[in-house]
Amino acid sequence: AMDAPLPEERPTQPDDAAAVRSLSRTWEKGKRRAWWKGALIAAAVCAVLAGLWAAATQLYVFPVDPEKIEITDVRQLSDGRILYHFKIDDDRNLRLLQFEFEEVDGVGNMYYVPSRALYTEKRQSPSLADSDRYLDLEEAGAWARIHGMDAEITRVWYGQGEDAVLLWEEGMDLPAASAADEAEWSYSESSAAYWEEHYSLPDTAPQE
């Protein structure tokens, strides 16, 4: 028996079905991983695009070129307020009109700063970009003090820099507003009391 030849070892036959099942499980895992990865990338891209669109349409940080600003028909109501027509000479809308204050050598300046977003829709009527407005110097002076300027406002401008458009300065001779203006813009006793009661200017700047 010792001299008998050893039996030959037969190689193990591979289990083809098990290999296929293992490959299928691996492929399914990879497919799910790829789907989630694609979904996350798509969501991130959409979020970035939405953020860019919101920034382009809602961040009003671009001042309007003063050369496009037109101030016409300046007149004065009997209560001292100044009426005028404000217009931006293009076909775009305007949503934000900010104001700033500056004191130079004891002289107070107020600046209206029309600002737009990177993308601005076309103008429709009525629009802030083409409208009658009024200036209340007492109210403007109160806001100036809230913003830390103690000097009396003697000049009011539209725009910024050397090209700013002058709306009013102390001593300017203005025509009187018409009877139609007085009827449209003057405060009634009841409305004046309402504004004084509900919207009086605070001692500190209001929270927006």
Q: What is the pLDDT of residues 106-162, one digit of tens each?
A: 889 999 999 999 998 999 888 999 999 999 999 999 999 998 998 999 999 999 888
Is there a contact between 141 and 94 (Cβ–Cβ < 8 Å)?
Answer: no
**Residue 111's pLDDT is what?**
96
Residue bearing tokens 């193990």 = 12
Tokens of 145: 């003090």
Tokens of 143: 């806001």
pTM: 0.70
**Residue 158's pLDDT is what?**
97
**CA–CA distance, 120 with 90 (Å, rounded to integer):** 11
